[in-house]
Chains A and B, each alone.
Chain A
């Protein structure tokens, strides 16, 4: 016989049947069920296969501590692997599948692994595939097969079709858990006027009270919980059901995930709560016992048996044996016996209180003292159990179809552990109790080691009052009850002989033998053992195995358990979906997008946009069926021969204002700016502290106390933050304000022989002659009645200007310039042409400013002032940065005119094209003006060593090599006649 649904009882709504399926078979449960209770009620025992040995597994708990019943919920893109059947709320239409088995759950070929169990002992991978004498390729080869053979469920690779939400919120008190302690803590604090949030993982309030048959404080459990829930609502307490607190962080920050019900607008909601005070009332978890076959379907924690019978009206079997070493299992045995289940209770202790004996007798429980389980009997499920005395004698076999176990309780203090609080071992209770937190965090109820519901409620009231007083509320002082509550002391760990495979960690298939072997091999510290055996990993994070494993280590080392130490629990306490963490920040919202004020005008013109950092920039403007290569060459020709316009709004722009503005620029640029006349611009380079080039750009002097600094697009944020840091930390005495004005101004570059004529037509009040507006001059004027600023500067080597107008007028400026350009045979040009034009001219750009190059490497050493200090000025003189054989900027042209070469190619001597070579190609382009390809590169020794010589541009990825000649990087108009025209 297997589990079955009782005809009455339970907190389920029998009027609301819920259809669901498991492995394609249609089943039904009721509203209020979990998937586990519905499966048990439908007679299922086998629901999963184990991690390593593919052993048959059933349901071993009724909550988050479940280590065996992992299933996949849903299908297709919505499939969620490794879901706990014990926490999955049953909803109509739920679809569940077993996982990690083939071809079926019942007949799983992977079970063949059990034949090789002796091979797969602790440290198998390390011993077999790694270490001295093993080829490094060995593990890489076998890893694929091992990962297929072992593991858990498989996630869908399809995009997640669901939405996820996130919420930031604040409160005075966060109460975690809604058992008697949590409910009372919230109620007392709420009634004292605190702003309280109560988070409960379950879909019902009540915690362990829901599993009680005896009631609490003289009331029936349901009635007590309902009364408290009404009080909470009256006090305005925010109650979050289906919400798991997965992490506690600094300053009272808690991370929580709320699982929303089907039909809600999102699947899950991530909560970030900032609480002034926290009460952890997360209960305690029962520990399994280690005996042979303690993982067979039908073996289960005793408290889970009680939960199923009382809350879900499911008897887990018709004939049950429960093994215990403490008082708590008596309630489970009595509750099962009362509903007609034949129940035998094995207690490892030889003496218990008369009251417990009497209670068992009245309920009809067959109580056997001094008896322990030695081995569960059965293949795909429990059929019986071999028992004996603690002194290894008198074996006997009992028939049963379910086997309960209770090895004591572990207060749930993972969240407290995340805050660095060390637990304290209590020998009397055989449990770790919470240590004292230095933050306003208090454990209450079973989480503090209290075993009776009344004590839990009392500790909750005390914790709520404590929080209220701490936050200025008015609440009477209440005493915290002392931990404990059993009539007879627990008989800790040692249960005598073990027959067969006894699992310590069911989820990771780690046996008692594995732990003992690891200890014998020296891996006898908790953290080492975890990594050597995988104990405590995966979804359950050692919830049921940690204390038992510590006890085995202590036994193996001949030490007391507190001497062994513990592992530190880290977030998340329970698995959190990536979707919940990502929230709305996915797809097009993964990162914010920046758009130029001219964006719509550019796209309307057919620009192909390119993501550059957060910006969308025009890459090229195809005409007809042009591809990027055809388009950019055409755009280059137009710039060289007529006029082109380019959106440069994305360049970083910083207003530098104040009496010390010039002094600031003198300090951050290698060259001088204090002496720059008003109405002039200057190209500047700034270094990092270590002497490496950081960024470049022009700065314009607009007035006595005002400069307009431009940076590269990519360097804008970095430069702004850097200057702010300098002003805040090194030079607070400077009277200078820096403000990003990147968003204030829209800008366009106008370049080409017709640039002057075009601007003269568009900007009527600015004198454009060479004398009135010389190279590097800055002028202010008007465009359409709004102020604009113009500088005559060139990145392309042509006669060129940059024009800026307030951003809201950017589109109007673009249209005016474009019309003017077209009238003069010109057009817009994009990023590709912009980059190619500067390569032809030999200007350095992003590929050359790669965070490794110095001023001298780039041929800009002469810019550095010798009359003033500047950032990086000292460290740039380090001998390593002054070496003659450093990679230095050179120009490259193919020896054979028609040949091409790629950026990123390695520059090598002819006949020696292996290794790291002598340098690399940074930028290349086809040059329509020169009729061949040109490139820039950084070559060891630079022009001094290589000018006029040939090297090889090796492209090993594409298996290509090109002979190139090293030349000056100024390919076009080295005298500057064009830009001074």
Chain B
């Protein structure tokens, strides 16, 4: 099996920024009248107690579920062999997006001051708390933000990952 390659040039790293692949990422899409059924099925399969509310993430044995759309859930898992829910077309469809996004982690100490240069969301911890999720443009690129216990993860389309990284790294470096 081939090893996965990073969208960044080799050797690029910063102490306050890191980049990794999604591991396993699956999108579940329900029809307008089947969301509850689909979300319940997906949550059970992934070991999540309850499917997440809009703009939230929830965690289970198979990974984390992110509610990023009225009819969509994303399953993210560090493991490639993550358990996946099998959906009947009547209920919804699933789609592998494991390579579509890269994850840039911005360390907590710099997350709000760095990202507030580009993002019109109140990222202060009491407003954008752990496991809050939002879709927003970052330098004209649609990204998903996910507050983690030690920083903010930016799920950026892979083709934009290096450009986004370069921008954030340059600004972070200027801040010392």
Contact = CB atoms under 8 A, between A and B. Distances in A.
B29 interface: yes
Contact of A741 (B97, B120, B141, B171): B97
B84 to A, nearest CB: 14
Contact of B95 (A167, A600, A657, A743): A657
Contacts of B120: 168, 272, 274
Contacts of B93: 657-658, 705-706, 737
- The listed residue with most B CB atoms (<10 A of its CB), out of A588, A705, A786, A806, is A806
Interface in B11-44: 21, 27, 29, 31-32
A789 to B, nearest CB: 12
A594 B89 contact: no
Nearest to A266: B174
Nearest to A615: B159
Nearest to B25: A744
B29 A657 contact: yes
A830 to B, nearest CB: 18
Contacts of B127: 170
B170 interface: yes
A741 B95 contact: yes
A566 to B, nearest CB: 33
A351 interface: no
Nearest to A739: B95
B47 interface: no
A584 B29 contact: no
A589 B139 contact: yes
Nearest to A732: B32
Contacts of B6: 808
Contacts of B2: 783-786, 809, 812
Given A265-B175, A592-B139, A812 B5 contact: yes
A743 B117 contact: no
Contact of A743 (B29, B96, B158, B163): B158
A925 interface: no
Given A168-B119, A584-B117, A655 B159 contact: no
A743 B99 contact: yes
A706 B7 CA distance: 28
A914 interface: no
A169 B128 CA distance: 13
- The listed residue with most B CB atoms (<10 A of its CB), out of A167, A657, A744, A809, is A744
Interface in A152-174: 163, 165-170
A659 interface: yes
Contact of A265 (B29, B32, B95, B174): B174
Given A592-B140, A657-B29, A784-B1, A808 B99 contact: yes
Interface string B136-171: 000111000000000000000111101110110011
B78 interface: no
B160 A594 contact: yes
- The listed residue with most B CB atoms (<10 A of its CB), out of A163, A266, A741, is A741
B95 A165 contact: no
B1 to A, nearest CB: 4
A921 to B, nearest CB: 33
- The listed residue with most B CB atoms (<10 A of its CB), out of A272, A591, A594, A706, is A594
- The listed residue with most A CB atoms (<10 A of its CB), out of B2, B100, B159, B171, is B159
Contacts of A806: 98-99
B4 A809 contact: yes
A381 interface: no
Contacts of B95: 655, 657, 737, 739, 741
A743 B101 contact: yes
- The listed residue with most A CB atoms (<10 A of its CB), out of B5, B98, B160, B175, is B5
Contacts of B9: 600
Contacts of A735: 31, 89
A809 B117 contact: no
A739 B21 contact: no
Contacts of A745: 99
A166 B171 CA distance: 11
B159 A595 contact: yes
A571 to B, nearest CB: 18
A811 interface: yes
A507 interface: no
Contacts of B5: 597, 808-812
Interface string A555-586: 00000000000000000000000000001110
The main secondary structure of chain B at its interface with chain A is loop
B159 A594 contact: yes
Contacts of B27: 739
B51 to A, nearest CB: 18
A596 interface: yes
The main secondary structure of chain A at its interface with chain B is mixed
A592 B89 contact: no
A739 B96 CA distance: 11
A593 interface: yes
Contacts of A739: 27, 29, 95, 97
A167 B159 contact: no
B101 to A, nearest CB: 7
A742 interface: yes
A165 B21 CA distance: 30
Contacts of B141: 592
Contacts of B171: 584
Nearest to A195: B124
B140 A167 contact: no
A737 B34 CA distance: 13
Contacts of A591: 140
A809 B92 CA distance: 28
A265 B170 CA distance: 12
A519 to B, nearest CB: 46
A700 to B, nearest CB: 15
A583 to B, nearest CB: 7
Nearest to A738: B29
A812 B3 CA distance: 9
B41 to A, nearest CB: 16
Interface in A657-688: 657-659
B80 to A, nearest CB: 11
Given A168-B120, A589-B170, A594-B159, A807 B100 contact: yes
Contacts of A597: 5, 7, 158-159
Contacts of B140: 591-592
Nearest to B101: A743
A165 B174 CA distance: 11
Interface string A774-790: 00000000011110000
Contacts of A596: 159
A745 B163 CA distance: 19
A461 B23 CA distance: 56
A658 B5 CA distance: 31
Contacts of A584: 117, 167, 170-171
B123 to A, nearest CB: 9
A589 to B, nearest CB: 5
B163 A593 contact: yes
Contact of A744 (B1, B4, B99): B99
A735 B163 CA distance: 36
A744 B97 contact: yes
Given A595-B162, A806-B99, A163 B174 contact: yes
B171 to A, nearest CB: 6
Nearest to A786: B2
A54 B175 CA distance: 45
A615 B95 CA distance: 25
Given A165-B117, A584-B117, 7 more contacts: A168-B121, A266-B174, A592-B163, A739-B29, A783-B2, A808-B5, A808-B6
Interface of A: 163, 165-170, 265-266, 272, 274, 583-585, 588-589, 591-597, 600, 615, 655, 657-659, 704-706, 732, 735, 737, 739, 741-745, 783-786, 806-812
Question: Across chains A and B, which 4 residue pairs bring their CB atoms closest together, nearest first?
Answer: A808-B4, A737-B29, A744-B100, A807-B99
12 contacts: A167-B117, A589-B166, A592-B160, A592-B163, A593-B160, A600-B9, A737-B29, A737-B95, A743-B101, A743-B158, A744-B98, A807-B158
